[in-house]
């Protein structure tokens, strides 16, 4: 080795050591900062617990970064996702007991979501009881813990091993924040395998900054781990041309994690991934891989159907009717609450008839959280809830036009640019968005949360749409943005006049008709101009 080469090796070694000590220092300082946030006392034990959990999270991020190619591009959005979720989680933990709803138990305990409070409290109770963590899988708990026991058992295990002396709630937030950061790496690598770096980078940033995802990962919810397992599985499928040792373990880990955390997602996800695999360009069906996927689907189906068959509302149903009955039960139970509190929906359903109630619930659910409503109505709501709702709504309204535009453009993509897979992911994304709206009863909490489970493919489709419009200077994206702007402005006006009553308040059907006419006009003029351009070129 030459002298210059030896010096370079020494310099690189020194730099790596410096970076390592910087990371260790940041972790220790982070432990110091988080220890007093929970107000549990025992500062030294809190510092040790949080420092250990931060070290595990940083180690997970570093390990996945090395696995996915050690590229710099995904590092920034991944670290941003981790720090953003952790910061928001700590801020909510401090703010909600002070400025939240004093009558809300979850707010007074620092939780943004009701489900997070129920699951986390029960996890702490199990952790300090000394009983086996396997009890999490036996049922008998309130909420949905008996149906989705994986997050319950994992949280209890962390509390028992890392923080046996006090209920330090942010330990699970660190877990979810690290899951969000690792998901970015897996998504970026999968997207990079399919598309150019610009698409992969845009998908990573969309995923990292999407507000609904941030709120979920800054809480003690199960969705961040579900999304992580989906990103792992998608990464594995995109690596199948490599040796099995490169992708098979990740597919197995993802499948087990999904079954333990949220079994219904496992069935849906593996069906979607199976189609993605089948549509791979140049695919020659391999009986080995076909059998592998078929086996995974069979396991997922058996697990999900067995789980659902045990639910009281579904007992006595045969296998073919379980899924339909589950969706119907969820729709009618949750949409009933939504209709009772939404006067506009009540008026629409009265005019169209109860048998068509699903239609306005579906449309209203896709629009949730409704940005005009959050900006104008419910002025008595707590400012922290309105602020959070505004961020969630702005995130969805920023993403939705790209999903609509992307779905309309994937059919124009050349066959060699994964057109079939893009069409499938576009169809799947919008079907899932509709199912989430109906299954969540069109509400502004469960519905957007279900929708965000498959954020990875929504982010990928939106990133592809952005790149497609940018490189081709396609005017259709701007047209869809104009349609959304008109929708937001018209309904903002409708809500303003409804609240203030200082101006004429138009009937909601007039507003809907105006929006439909405006959309038809914009799309019609766009189509006419496009046909004119085609004729001039020919």
> Splitting the chain (538 residues) into consecutive groups of 10 residues, what average pLDDT does each group show?
56 68 81 80 84 92 90 93 95 91 89 90 89 77 62 91 91 95 96 93 96 94 94 92 79 87 83 87 69 68 58 50 58 65 74 78 88 80 88 95 95 85 93 86 84 95 95 93 95 86 81 94 87 55
Give the Cβ contact number of residue 190 at 10 Å: 24
Distance CA(521)–CA(354), nearest Å, equals 31
Cα distances from 520 to residues 256, 340, 431, in angstroms, run 47, 32, 23
Quick one: pLDDT at residue 200?
95
Give 163's DSSP letter. Answer: -
Quick one: pLDDT at residue 199?
95
Quick one: pLDDT at residue 85?
95
For residues 333-372, b (16+ Cβ closer than 10 Å) or e, as one string?
Answer: ebbeebbeebebbeebbeeeeeeebbebbbbbbbbbbbbb
Instruction: Specify the length of the chain in residues.
Output: 538
Which long-range CB contacts under 8 A does 43-48 form with residues at least 24 apart? 45/163, 45/165, 45/166, 46/163, 46/166, 46/168
Residue at token pair 């749409």: 465
The crossing angle, in degrees rounded to 10, of helices 43-67 and 170-194 is: 10
Integer-rounded Cα Rg, in Å, for the chain is 25
Beta strands per DSSP E along 233-358: none
For the chain, domain boundaries? 1-255, 262-310, 314-470, 476-530
Which long-range CB contacts under 8 A does 415-420 form with residues at least 24 apart? 415/281, 416/281, 418/194, 418/195, 418/281, 420/279, 420/281
CA angle 104, 392, 470 (to 5 degrees): 170
Quick one: pLDDT at residue 22?
82
Backbone angles phi, psi at 101, to 5 degrees: -75, 120
Distance CA(435)–CA(441), nearest Å, equals 10
Quick one: pLDDT at residue 313?
46
**What is the token pair recorded at 223?**
């969705």
């Amino acid at each position: 080795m030459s002298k210059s080469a030896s010096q370079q090796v020494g310099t690189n070694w020194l730099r790596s050591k410096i970076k390592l000590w910087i990371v260790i220092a940041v972790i220790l300082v982070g432990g110091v900062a988080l220890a007093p946030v929970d107000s549990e006392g025992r500062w030294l034990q809190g510092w040790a617990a949080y420092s250990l959990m931060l070290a595990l999270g940083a180690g997970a991020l570093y390990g996945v970064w090395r696995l996915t190619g050690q590229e710099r591009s995904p590092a920034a959005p991944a670290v941003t996702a981790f720090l953003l979720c952790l910061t928001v989680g700590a801020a909510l933990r401090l703010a909600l007991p002070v400025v939240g709803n004093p009558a809300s138990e979850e707010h007074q305990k620092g939780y943004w979501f009701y489900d997070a409070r129920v699951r986390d409290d029960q996890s702490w109770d199990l952790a300090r009881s000394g009983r086996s963590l396997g009890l999490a899988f036996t049922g008998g708990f309130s909420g949905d813990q008996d149906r989705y026991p994986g997050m319950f058992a994992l949280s209890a295990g962390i509390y028992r091993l890392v923080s046996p002396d006090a209920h330090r709630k942010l330990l699970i937030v660190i877990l979810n924040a690290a899951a969000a950061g690792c998901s970015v790496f897996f998504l970026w690598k999968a997207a990079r395998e399919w598309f150019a770096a610009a698409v992969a980078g845009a998908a990573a940033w969309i995923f990292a900054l999407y507000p609904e995802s941030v709120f979920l990962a800054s809480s003690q919810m199960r969705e961040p781990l579900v999304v992580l397992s989906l990103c792992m599985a998608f990464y594995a499928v995109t690596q199948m041309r490599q040796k099995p040792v490169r992708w098979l373990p990740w597919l197995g880990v993802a499948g087990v994690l999904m079954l333990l955390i949220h079994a219904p997602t496992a069935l849906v996800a593996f069906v979607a991934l199976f189609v993605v695999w089948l549509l791979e360009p140049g695919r020659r069906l391999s009986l080995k891989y076909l059998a592998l996927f078929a086996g995974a689907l069979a396991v997922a189906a058996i697990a999900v159907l067995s789980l659902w068959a045990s639910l009281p509302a579904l007992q006595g149903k045969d296998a073919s009717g379980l899924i339909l009955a589950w969706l119907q039960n969820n729709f009618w139970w949750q949409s009933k609450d939504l209709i009772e509190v939404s006067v506009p929906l009540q008026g629409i359903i009265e005019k169209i008839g109860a048998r068509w109630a699903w239609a306005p619930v579906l449309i209203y659910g896709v629009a949730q959280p409704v940005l005009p409503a959050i900006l104008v109505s419910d002025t008595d709501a707590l400012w922290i809830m309105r602020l959070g709702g505004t961020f969630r709504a702005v995130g969805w309204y920023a993403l939705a036009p790209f999903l609509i535009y992307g779905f309309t453009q994937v059919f124009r993509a050349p066959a060699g640019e994964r057109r079939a897979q893009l069409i499938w992911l576009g169809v799947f994304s919008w079907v899932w968005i509709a199912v989430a709206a109906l299954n969540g009863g069109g509400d502004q909490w469960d519905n957007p949360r279900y929708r965000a489970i498959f954020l990875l493919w929504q982010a990928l489709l939106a990133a592809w749409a952005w790149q497609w419009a940018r490189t081709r200077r396609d005017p259709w994206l701007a047209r869809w943005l104009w349609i959304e702007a008109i929708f937001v402005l018209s309904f903002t006006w409708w809500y303003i006049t409804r609240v203030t009553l200082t101006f004429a308040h138009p009937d909601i059907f007039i507003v809907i008709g105006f929006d439909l006419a405006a959309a038809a006009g914009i799309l019609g003029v766009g189509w006419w101009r496009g046909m004119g351009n085609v004729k001039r070129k020919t």
